[in-house]
Amino acid sequence: MPRTQLSKKDGLTYKQRALVDTLVATGCTITEASQKAGYSKGEAGRVVASRTLRLPKVQAYLMQEVSNKLGLGSVHASSTLLHLIQNGKSEYVRLEASKDLLDRIGMRTPEKVQHNLSGNVQIKIDLD
């Protein structure tokens, strides 16, 4: 398939897909990614790549790929937290890793305790 043809799946060109794939895989600059993806060299390539990244279909693909990469990274991060919980060299490290893991699964302790007082509350202090 020629490089300029659209993909049947999502309507992206080869260059658009290569630009996003390069950015996600390497974390390089738009200028570097544009050159690796086959855009013009220098400022002209960066400008075209920057405009390309604003297209809704390209943004959708970028978000999908970033989400996939983060999803894979979260498996490693969870494994690291579990390792620290079980094998941390200090109690402090094990405690902080435990709190982080609980926070990520939604079992966070409340930041502030709020008391809901209904009705009148009177406080009388007798200093006799």
The residue extents of the domains of the chain are 14-104
Amino acid 38 reads G
String of DSSP letters for 90-127:
SHHHHHHHHHHHHHHTT-PPPSS------S--------
Give the rounded percent of residues in the chain with a pLDDT score beyond 90: 50
Give me the pLDDT at residue 119, please: 65
Q: Which of 25, 23, 63 is nearest to 39 (CA)?
A: 23
Q: What is the pLDDT of residues 45-92, one digit of tens each?
A: 999 999 999 999 999 999 999 998 888 888 888 888 899 999 999 999
Give me the pLDDT at residue 1, please: 45
| Distance separating alpha carbons of residues 19 and 22, to the nearest angstrom | 5
Please give the structure tokens belonging to residue 13: 């060109």
Q: Return mean pLDDT, the chain.
A: 85
| Distance separating alpha carbons of residues 20 and 49, to the nearest angstrom | 10
Three-class SS of residue 2?
coil
User: Cα 25 to chain center, whole Å?
Assistant: 14
Please give the structure tokens belonging to residue 98: 């435990």
- Euclidean distance between the first and final Cα of the chain, in Å? 95
